[in-house]
Amino acid sequence: MEAIEWNDVYKTGIEVIDYQHKRLIQIINDLIEIHEKEDLRVDLIDFVLDELILYTKYHFEKEEIIMSEIKYDQLDTHKDGHGKFVEMINNFKERTVSSDDITSELLHYLKNWITFHIEVEDKKYVDYIMYSPGIV
Ligand SMILES: [Fe+2]
């Protein structure tokens, strides 16, 4: 699987959010790289997955604070999306990563979710911020 390449379409223009998105992509790329190695290190995947779970929690909290500060009208829907993602990763983690198939499925899911979420879902609240200058 190809690593995710940072693309300017992912850019929100909010420095802290762009930084955190890059970090999330980097962690997912670490997982992809580990998975590409011939002798799959399940323990390592598990370790990096924990890092992803922690960092995701930290990042979603930051985004949700911003969205509530600007009184974003789709906050609840956006939060639901975050919640479902966390649930999915935790499910994967339980089934973990004991088989190659599950790891592949996990990586496809992560890659699709993060790129779509940043490019489409996060852009919506960024557009909203345009109308609330001085918030972040
Ligand atoms: Fe988000």
Note the pLDDT tens digit of each residue in 64-120: 999 998 899 999 999 999 999 999 999 888 876 567 678 889 999 999 999 999 999
Compute the distance from residue 34 Cα to the ligand 1 centre, in Å: 26
Distance 68 CA to ligand 1 centre (A): 12
* Residues 70/129, Cβ–Cβ less than 8 Å: yes
d(CA 127, CA 17): 14
- What does CATH list as the number for 13-130? 1.20.120.50
pLDDT at position 98 = 63
Q: What is the pLDDT of residue 134?
A: 63
The domains of the chain are located at: 13-130
Tens of pLDDT, residue by residue over 18-41, are 999 999 999 999 999 998 887 767
Expressed in angstroms and rounded, the spacing between residue 49 Cα and the centre of ligand 1 is 19
Residue spans of alpha helices (H) in the chain: 15-36, 42-69, 75-95, 100-116, 122-130
Distances in Å between the alpha carbon of 4 and those of 21, 23, 36, 86, 112? 12, 12, 14, 20, 10
Find the 129 Cα to ligand 1 centroid distance in Å.
Answer: 14
